[in-house]
Amino acid sequence: MPVITHSRPSLGLPEFRSVWAVLQSHQLGAGPWVRRFERAFAAHLGLRGAVAVSSGTAALHLALLALGIRPGDEVLIPSFACVAVWQAVRVAGAVPRLVDVEPDTFNLCPVDLRRRVTPRSRAVIVTHAFGFPADVRAIGRVGVPLVEDCAQALGATDHGRPVGTVGRVAVCSFYATKMIATGEGGMLVSQDAAVLARARDLRAYHDKSPDRVRYNYRMSDLAAALGVAQLGRLPQFIARRRALAARYRRAWRGLPVAHPVVAPSTAPVFYRYVVRVREGRVDRVVAAAAARGVTCARPVPVPLHRAFGIAGYAGAEAAWCRAVSVPIYPALEEPEVGRVLAVMQAVLRRVA
């Protein structure tokens, strides 16, 4: 039986049609589809505007520059996050400062954030881990400008508000495994016209003031055509992910694992279904599932405090020692879902 991968995009007729239309137009560069994707994305979040770019990391970089982050400034980021976040801060010339996460929700801990803020802190990047909204109200009260990283949480809400609408600026990624996929791609959104104008100006080189450093972070019309089609299907994708999550929770009740924690005010989108096994059992669970054809993974391969050898992140450390991500995505066919349910039931009972 073929292996069930950890992620797989959902591509169908809407994607084939819109990409075909771009090919027929013989216009591959940034054009009408990019503008259409930007408008649809901004409208989706109810924000003033959006700037499409070539990746989520590029969007983070431009977000920091648009906020006026300068070399030597400090940017706070969660330790239980992928290295792209650290990279974006470094590319902007700023100094990343790690903040611990809550070991049960995996999201940035507002109490630890308050402890780590210094007079040189100029921004905090909040990832909504695995599709679960972080507590941006509490984080906002710390008083550092907020960048929301919605790469894993597009469509999730807290108190009825979509993630990405609270911070000064928000970013998204459309990498092949994300909530919606264009292969590579990203977006910056904001309500602030000046932030949008600065990001738009820096996105591509142009003839005006040629000596100013700008980037080639453009999105192509091919990617944007995929994005428009995928965004239209996002509500179905989310409904399917939530339905799968409910089935996993029901089927694995009573097993020795902790299920994802859903804060009462939030509606997560289950970008990942991350269970917590007994400490130190992660590799064994992943190996046992792989032996039965189901690809599980650590949801963060190596947390940043580990990657850089920095002590003092007990929450992120506990998360890393227990978190196992189980395949959950709308492209899973019903027979595959059945296999995930059965295989993980056996694996979690015996190995977790």
Ligand X SMILES: *Cc1c(COP(=O)(O)O)cnc(C)c1O
Query: Is residue 84 a contact residue for ligand X (CB under 6 A)?
Result: yes
C-alpha triplet 111, 172, 321: angle, nearest 5°: 50
**Interface residues for ligand X in 133-152 (CB under 6 A)?**
149, 151-152
Q: How far is the CB of 352 from ligand X (least distance, A)?
A: 25
In 82-167, DSSP assigns E strands to 95-99, 121-127, 146-149, 157-158, 161-162
Query: Is residue 175 a contact residue for ligand X (CB under 6 A)?
Result: yes
Kindly tell me which of 88 and 337 has the beta carbon lying closer to ligand X.
Answer: 88
Residue 39 Cα distances to 43, 154, 173, 224, 343, angstroms:
6, 16, 16, 11, 43
Closest CA to 95 of 71, 129, 66: 71
Kindly tell me which of 37 and 252 has the beta carbon lying closer to ligand X.
Answer: 37
Q: How many residues bind ligand X (CB under 6 A)?
A: 14
**Interface residues for ligand X in 1-60 (CB under 6 A)?**
55-57
Token pair 């402890």 in the structure block, residue: 115
Tokens standing for 342?
């059965």
Q: How far is the CB of 84 from ligand X (least distance, A)?
A: 4
Q: How far is the CB of 176 from ligand X (least distance, A)?
A: 9
For residue 218, the one-letter residue type is R
Q: Helix, strand or coil for residue 251? A: helix
Token pair 């995930």 in the structure block, residue: 340
Binder among 82, 147, 219, 224 for ligand X (CB under 6 A): 82
Token pair 């216009």 in the structure block, residue: 27
**Interface residues for ligand X in 206-265 (CB under 6 A)?**
none
Residue closest to ligand X (Cβ):
56
Binder among 45, 52, 66, 85 for ligand X (CB under 6 A): 85
Q: Which stretch binds ligand X (CB under 6 A): 31-39, 82-90, 327-335, 340-348?
A: 82-90
For residue 80, the one-letter residue type is F
Binding positions for ligand X, rule: CB under 6 A: 55-57, 81-82, 84-85, 127, 149, 151-152, 173, 175, 186
